[in-house]
Amino acid sequence: MESEILTNVHSTADQYYERQVVRPTGAKVHAAQLEADEEEYFPLQPIEKKLCAWSLGVGLTLMAVFIGVFERI
């Protein structure tokens, strides 16, 4: 039951993706949607923030390791 609730809830990002990719539109509708999208903003979800932080941390750590290793060679 809990999984049904989680799968039926769409975030704003999912709605944006569905509107842009899943449902094809005509040129006039697409132009109107682009104008509406310029005004639209949705914050990052907590899992997206964690993913960004982990990616940045891993990238900086690997860069420091590689610089340290190649400086000694």
Chain segment 42-52, per-residue pLDDT in tens: 788 999 999 99
CB 45 within 8 A of CB 10: no
CB 56 within 8 A of CB 70: no
User: What pTM did the predictor assign?
Assistant: 0.47
Any idea how long the chain is? 73
**pLDDT confidence tier of residue 18, bands split at 50, 70 and 90:** confident
What is the CA angle 72-62-47, rounded to 5?
Answer: 170
